[in-house]
């Protein structure tokens, strides 16, 4: 529980859209320099500048940029588009220039570039491209270097674990098609996932199409629709993938067009298997499975003929029978069986190594190709020489080459399966959205005329959706009708239900607790807040931690060094055998000195695993950010993970962070002689029709006094809810009034001194006092509090033992803040702080040399979250420790494995590692690193939280 509230990073504000929006709004800045008259400003010419801003991830980032610009003299207005990565500034050139504005943006940590032609230039665009075929960090480095030299590409990141590239580029100079061609020129397959404009995609399955003409007709009709960017038709499976602009069209339009063309013969539906990255991942898994199975079909007989049947006398005699001269049936059979494995199934390794070498790099494919070719072609030479000789006894290693390829394919198959599980958390995030929605049909006057249940993916902009109690909101939108409270904690981090009425915004994936709402969809598909959070998590998984640069530097030299090492191993053992520097007894009876040296060389080459190094950091980050996201924690990426373990000061917000954010009754004081059960029966009956969170807390508490589980409250007449004050109702012929001081004074109900004292006492204890009057006479006071989260006091104590200072910075009043601080053990408290003041406090602490983490709800705390060194859970230290563990394993594996494979233990122990076992070990290394990262999914709170002693009291 404690780890949950130590847990927030930059969360996108629900108001983030593609429009240039000035929100989040900070206190107004001076729009012209002090001492300068307005008349002079008006005389001066106003100018506009457009900047490309790289590095923004959320609305808090946009707010930081906006604030930095508005601080400058002569700024009329500044608006920042976080999704478009641009900032538009209106300014007075007499007082400030473009370069000064650009420098101000860069001073807050973002890369800014002036876009000269403000009218015709478009914002820097970001596209994501899937890349198939990468095997190690050498591959990612090759692709990155090729992309970064393309004109107008500002930034290119390639992630091995996700097999994706994220590229920021100028669409007026280069297109995403050219970027994909550049990637394919490096030898990898490129698949477009999304572009800056083309973020909404949907897959449809079409039944009834029988001819190519019908297929082309459907494709052309869809392409002609306004807002459709691309149509990709798969005739084999009768599926179509569409990229579109959701503000112009939507999936129901596509289905309507398709079905109207076939005169009832064509049926279209949402593709049940999904599409995009998931389908490509499934295809990759399927390809590796097929390759592995075919490889085993040929490899198992090779293994049996070389290692099993040679010990069965009758079969051995048949295999040793000569075909031509000294060429045996067994040798010829192994040659025939291993050739398809080497050249057909193993073709991917030839292709990969050839294209890597063409670009001046060496990857894992090069090691595999060299190792298997050495074994295969030496064996082929040995068999051919035996066929042309009457006394040469052949010794082949066909089992080595075929088993090497089979084990490597097995490792890659297990690896892609495991890597698929690292991103399961993103799928769980998307599952927050409901599967179905109730679509309303309205007449011209806005009256409901019909209701239909549809797949939530079919919702289009401006649709009106009915949301009933206990159901999730299907889409971001505006409430048109109804009142309710919506739990938005899964999106915003605010645990307290938020009241919603006509005109209020709601977020898709949040839970409607009570009341019926009619919501007009405003942002659907990939525009929604939930999709933005998913993109933020994906971006975090793409980002490289600084520690990963270590692996990237190693990968540049790793494969060449391994090749040199293996050649040196072969040459050393060969020369040692040639000049008899070791006893002949060392040589096994089945091989000669040359073959022994060749085995050592091949083993040293194929045991090296650059994949493990490349996967050590990204897989841990993927799982760490994914697990965090599933718990409501958004981590900005590897940089934040690496900084987390250096934090020595944590700034806490209060509500929803240190406290639960859900009110509960903590005390009841009666001023008249009456039974507590009867008191709560009257109060609960009056409050049962109220939707206010405090009313729900009272009703929940009153249930404890029920005589029967399903007992109903007394009948209520004349119920009146006074917004922000309380309720009035007639219960059992008694006039019941429940509310605050204002309501009592408004109803001319006298508040006795003792009741005033109880209210003041409650406020000093950070509680809300509710007055209850029966027939205009105060009979009791109910104290309601937002309780401290379980484990909050323990966590603060542990942080103190770790020499980490804790501070509360909250917008709440001093009385409440001091009470909460005293209860959890925090002495330094800043109350009644506005969002920008929270950020200033963070900066003040940083100026004192502290590494600051900010823990807040992600909305009003967003400026402070950005200003802090890290805005995430201190528990993320667990992710960084797993990264270090992965590196220890990957480096240790290579540092120990290569010498053992090279024969370091052979002289003293006689132990040697056959090449096929070395290949299996290499495959297992990559899988083990990914599985190590997957263990993060089982993260639990530290055991020391279970047994704590605080203020002399043992906490169990």
Q: What is 268-321 written as a DSSP string?
A: EEE-TT--THHHHHHHHHHHHHHHHHHHHHHHHHHHHHHHTGGGSHHHHHHHH-
482: burial class by Cβ within 10 Å (0-12, 13-18, 19+)? middle
Is residue 405 assigned to a domain?
A: yes
pLDDT, mean of residues 793-808: 85
295 and 360 housed in the same domain: yes
pLDDT, mean of residues 769-777: 91
758 and 708 housed in the same domain: yes
Is residue 1 assigned to a domain?
A: no
pLDDT for the residue numbered 295: 93
- pLDDT band of 273, cuts 50, 70, 90: low
229 and 282 housed in the same domain: no
Is residue 632 assigned to a domain?
A: no
Written in H, E and C, the secondary structure of 153-179 is: EEEEEEECCCCEEEEEECCCCCCHHHH
340 and 414 housed in the same domain: yes
- 135-148: b (≥16 Cβ within 10 Å) or e: bbbbbbbbbbebbe
Whether the per-residue pLDDT at 388 is higher than 70: the answer is yes
360 and 497 housed in the same domain: no
Instruction: For residue 836, give the CATH number of its domain.
Output: 3.40.50.1000
Residue 69 or residue 2, greater confidence: 69
Is residue 436 assigned to a domain?
A: no
Measured over the CA atoms of residue 475, residue 478, residue 483 and residue 487, the dihedral's sign is: positive
Domain boundary among 146, 168, 194: 194
Interatomic CA distance for residues 538 and 541, integer angstroms: 5
Top mean-pLDDT range of 3-7, 303-307, 764-768: 303-307
Interatomic CA distance for residues 198 and 204, integer angstroms: 17
653 and 775 housed in the same domain: no
Whether the per-residue pLDDT at 945 is higher than 50: the answer is no
pLDDT, mean of residues 202-219: 81
Interatomic CA distance for residues 711 and 920, integer angstroms: 68
- pLDDT band of 465, cuts 50, 70, 90: very high
691 and 781 housed in the same domain: yes
802 and 653 housed in the same domain: yes
Domain boundary among 95, 115, 135: 115
Lowest mean pLDDT among 192-201, 594-603, 740-749: 192-201
pLDDT for the residue numbered 547: 54
pLDDT for the residue numbered 367: 78
Lowest mean pLDDT among 179-188, 408-417, 823-832: 408-417
Interatomic CA distance for residues 540 and 799, integer angstroms: 26
What are the structure tokens assigned to 657, written together? 């962070």
Cis peptide before 24 (omega within 30 of 0): yes
149 and 166 housed in the same domain: yes
98 and 180 housed in the same domain: no
767 and 698 housed in the same domain: yes
Instruction: For residue 515, give the CATH number of its domain.
Output: 2.70.150.10
pLDDT for the residue numbered 595: 81
pLDDT for the residue numbered 333: 93
Domain boundary among 81, 115, 149: 115
Whether the per-residue pLDDT at 810 is higher than 70: the answer is yes
pLDDT over 90, % of the chain: 9
Is residue 843 assigned to a domain?
A: yes
Whether the per-residue pLDDT at 5 is higher than 80: the answer is no
For residue 390, the 8-state DSSP code is: S
Whether the per-residue pLDDT at 934 is higher than 80: the answer is no
pLDDT tens for 161-184 read: 677 888 888 887 888 888 998 888
pLDDT tens for 435-455 read: 889 999 888 887 888 899 988
pLDDT over 70, % of the chain: 73
Is residue 776 assigned to a domain?
A: yes
Top mean-pLDDT range of 77-91, 310-324, 360-374, 866-880: 310-324
Is residue 162 assigned to a domain?
A: yes
Q: Give the range of the structural domain holding residue 141, as residue numbers without chain letter.
A: 125-194
- pLDDT band of 859, cuts 50, 70, 90: very low
Interatomic CA distance for residues 770 and 779, integer angstroms: 11
pLDDT for the residue numbered 77: 80
Number of domains in the chain: 8
Is residue 692 assigned to a domain?
A: yes
Residue 682 or residue 940, greater confidence: 682
What are phi and psi for residue 663, nearest 5 degrees?
-70, 145
pLDDT for the residue numbered 591: 73
pLDDT for the residue numbered 861: 56
Whether the per-residue pLDDT at 734 is higher than 50: the answer is yes
349 and 411 housed in the same domain: yes
What are the structure tokens assigned to 264, written together? 């009832």
Interatomic CA distance for residues 203 and 955, integer angstroms: 54
For the whole prediction, is pTM greater than 0.85? no
Active-site residue set: 653
pLDDT for the residue numbered 332: 92
Instruction: For residue 66, give the CATH number of its domain.
Output: 3.30.70.100
């Amino acid at each position: 529980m404690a780890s949950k509230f130590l847990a927030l990073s930059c969360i996108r504000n629900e108001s983030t859209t593609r429009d240039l929006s000035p929100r989040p709004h900070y206190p107004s800045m001076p729009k012209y320099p002090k001492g300068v008259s307005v008349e002079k400003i008006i005389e001066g010419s106003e100018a506009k500048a457009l900047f490309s801003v790289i590095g923004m991830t959320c609305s808090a980032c946009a707010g930081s940029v906006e604030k930095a610009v508005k601080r400058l003299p002569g700024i009329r207005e500044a608006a920042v588009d976080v999704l478009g990565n641009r900032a538009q500034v209106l300014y007075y050139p007499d007082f400030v220039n473009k370069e000064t504005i650009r420098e101000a943006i860069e001073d807050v940590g973002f890369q800014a570039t002036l876009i000269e032609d403000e009218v015709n230039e478009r914002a820097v665009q970001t596209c994501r491209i899937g890349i198939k075929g990468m095997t190690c960090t050498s591959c990612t480095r090759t692709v990155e270097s090729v992309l970064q030299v393309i004109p107008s590409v500002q930034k290119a990141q390639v992630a091995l674990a996700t097999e994706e590239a994220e590229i920021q580029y100028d669409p007026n100079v280069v297109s995403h098609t050219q970027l994909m061609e550049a990637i394919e020129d490096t030898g990898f397959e490129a698949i477009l996932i999304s572009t800056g404009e083309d973020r909404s995609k949907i897959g449809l399955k079409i039944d009834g199409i029988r001819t190519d003409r019908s297929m082309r007709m459907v494709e052309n009709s869809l392409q002609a629709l306004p807002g459709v960017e691309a149509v990709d038709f798969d005739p084999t499976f009768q599926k179509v993938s569409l990229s579109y602009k959701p503000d112009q069209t939507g999936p129901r339009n596509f289905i309507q067009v398709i079905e109207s063309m076939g005169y009832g013969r064509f049926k279209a539906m949402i593709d049940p298997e999904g599409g995009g990255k998931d389908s490509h991942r499934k295809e990759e898994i399927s390809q590796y499975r097929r390759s592995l199975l075919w490889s085993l079909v040929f490899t198992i007989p090779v293994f049996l003929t070389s290692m099993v049947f040679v010990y069965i006398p009758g079969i051995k005699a048949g295999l040793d029978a000569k075909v031509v001269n000294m060429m045996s049936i067994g040798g010829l059979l192994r040659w025939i069986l291993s050739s398809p494995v080497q050249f057909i199934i193993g073709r991917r390794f030839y292709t990969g190594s050839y294209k890597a070498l063409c670009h001046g790099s060496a990857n894992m494919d090069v090691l595999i190709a060299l190792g298997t070719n050495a074994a295969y072609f030496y064996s082929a030479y040995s068999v051919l020489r035996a066929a042309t000789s009457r006394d040469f006894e052949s010794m082949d290693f066909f089992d080595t080459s075929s088993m090497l390829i089979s084990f490597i394919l097995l490792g890659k198959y297990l690896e892609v399966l495991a890597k698929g599980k690292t991103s399961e958390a993103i799928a769980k995030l998307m599952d927050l959205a409901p599967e179905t929605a109730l679509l309303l049909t309205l007449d011209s006057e806005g009256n409901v005329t019909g209701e239909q249940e549809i797949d939530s993916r079919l919702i289009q902009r401006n649709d009106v959706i009915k949301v009933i109690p206990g159901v999730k909101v299907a889409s971001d939108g505006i409430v048109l009708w109804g009142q309710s409270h919506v739990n938005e904690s899964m999106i915003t981090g605010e645990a307290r239900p938020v009241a919603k009425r006509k005109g209020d915004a709601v977020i898709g994936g949040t839970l409607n607790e009570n009341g019926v709402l009619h919501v007009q969809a405003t942002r659907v598909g990939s525009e929604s807040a939930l999709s933005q959070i998913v993109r933020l998590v994906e971006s975090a998984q793409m980002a490289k931690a600084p520690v990963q640069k270590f692996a990237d530097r190693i990968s540049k030299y790793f494969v060449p060094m391994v090749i040199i090492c293996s050649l040196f191993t072969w040459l050393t053992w060969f020369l040692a055998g040639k000049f008899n520097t070791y006893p002949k007894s060392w040589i096994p009876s089945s091989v000669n000195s040359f073959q022994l040296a060749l085995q050592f060389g091949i083993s040293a080459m194929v045991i090296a695993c650059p994949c493990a190094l490349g996967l050590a950091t990204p897989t841990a980050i993927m799982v760490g950010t994914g697990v965090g996201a599933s718990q409501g924690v958004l981590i900005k990426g590897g940089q934040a993970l690496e900084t987390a373990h250096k934090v020595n000061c944590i700034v806490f917000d209060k509500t929803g962070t240190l406290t639960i954010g859900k009110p509960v009754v903590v005390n009841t004081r009666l001023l008249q002689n009456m039974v507590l059960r009867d008191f709560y029966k009257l109060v609960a009956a009056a409050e049962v029709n109220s939707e206010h969170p405090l009313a729900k807390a009272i009703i929940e508490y009153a249930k404890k006094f029920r005589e029967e589980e399903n007992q109903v409250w007394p009948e209520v007449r004349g119920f009146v809810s006074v917004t922000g004050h309380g309720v009035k109702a007639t219960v059992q012929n008694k006039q019941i009034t429940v509310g605050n001081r204002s309501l009592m004074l408004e109803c001319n109900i006298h508040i006795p001194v003792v009741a005033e004292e109880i209210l003041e006492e409650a406020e000093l204890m950070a509680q809300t006092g509710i007055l209850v009057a029966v027939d205009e006479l105060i009979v009791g006071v109910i104290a309601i509090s937002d309780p401290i989260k379980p484990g909050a006091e323990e966590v603060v104590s542990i942080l103190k033992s770790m020499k980490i200072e804790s501070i509360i910075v909250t917008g709440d009043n001093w009385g409440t803040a001091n009470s909460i601080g005293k209860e959890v053990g925090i002495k330094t408290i800043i109350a009644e702080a506005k969002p920008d003041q929270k950020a200033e406090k963070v900066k003040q602490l940083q100026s004192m040399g502290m590494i600051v983490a900010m823990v807040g709800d992600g909305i009003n705390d967003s400026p402070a979250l950005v200003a802090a060194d890290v805005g995430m859970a201190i528990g993320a230290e667990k992710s960084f420790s797993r990264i270090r563990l992965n590196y220890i394993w990957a480096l240790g594996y290579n540092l120990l494995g290569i010498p053992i494979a090279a024969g370091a233990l052979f002289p003293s122990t006689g132990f040697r590692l056959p090449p096929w076992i070395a290949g299996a070990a290499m495959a297992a290394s990559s899988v083990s690193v990914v599985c190590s990262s997957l263990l993060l999914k089982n993260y639990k709170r530290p055991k020391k939280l279970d047994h704590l002693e605080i203020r002399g009291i043992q906490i169990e």
